[in-house]
Structure 1
Amino acid sequence: MTNKTTQIQATGKYLRLSTAKTRRVLDQIKGKKYQEAILILEFMTYKPSKTIKKILESAGNNALNLKYEKQNLIIQQAFANDGPKLKRFQPRAQGRAFRIQKPTCHITINLSIN
């Protein structure tokens, strides 16, 4: 008999957040219990924490659909990958234009059962 752990996943794609700043928040909740992570994200002042909280709640609701209790969930993985960069131009003096790259990211959160 093998001990198979169930993976519950939620993903947010093409989010207008910096990958580095998002990873800083995700590192705070890795390995934490579901309820504890929600509480941490609620009181964080960083911009990505609101979006990450929504994705985490979505993963929790996915677990409810599979008949698992939210208090038994642990954040197994939480990572942010680079998305496509939005290319924009900033007008400068004498007809020049400077290029601005606005980053996007994809956030994935995997939960597992105790």
Structure 2
Amino acid sequence: MIKKRRTNRYTEVYAIAQYISMSAHKARRVIDQIRGRSYAETLIILELMPYRACYPILKLVYSAAANANHNMRFNEANLIISKAEVNEGNTVKKLKPRARGRGYPIKRPTCHITIVLKDLDVEEEYLDSFAFEDKYIHKK
């Protein structure tokens, strides 16, 4: 299956973590707190929240910022979390041995987390370039 991402490749950078061994509901509780915030504010929030879901999300935000810095030369001070989503992954099913030869099913949910960072300065320049083109080039 081909995954299509609708992001602006000039102003946005993303990172994806797949098959994180955690319920999507528990990860969404943390993701809802950081959506739309700046990169620095997000790091502070994730380090101080007491949930187990914070650590993989913190690693993912670091990874997305590293992608932005290395691939696109974005400044980390201008980054914001433009999109953050959590989707359910596969459920890992196991059998736990119990008394008298029985087995009880154990279900371990997984989730996929996507973080999209946007650089505000680059976005303004990018949109201004289109406004310039629309105003002067396409005018009849």
Structure 1 spans left out of the alignment, 5+ residues: none
Q: TM (normalized to structure 1)?
A: 0.90
Aligned to 2:85: 79
Structure 2 spans left out of the alignment, 5+ residues: 1-7, 121-140
The 5 Å alignment of 1:13-52 reads 13-52=18-57
Q: Which protein has greater RCO, CA pairs closer than 8 Å, 6+ apart?
A: 1
SS in structure 1 at match of 2:56: helix
Q: TM (normalized to structure 2)?
A: 0.74
Kindly tell me the number of residue pairs found equivalent between the two proteins: 111
Aligned to 1:58: 63
* Candidates 10, 15, 39, aligned match of 2:15: 10
AA of the residue aligned to 2:11: T
SS in structure 2 at match of 1:46: coil
In structure 2, what is the Cα distance between the partners aligned to 1:17 and 1:11? 15
Identity %: 42
Aligned to 1:106: 112
Cα deviation digits, residues 73-107 of structure 1 (max 9, x gap)? 11011111111111111234443322111011111
Which structure: greater helix fraction? 2
Q: What root-mean-square deviation, in Å, do the aligned CA atoms of Structure 1 and Structure 2 show? A: 1.4
List structure 1 segments (4+ residues) > 4 angstroms apart after TM superposition.
none
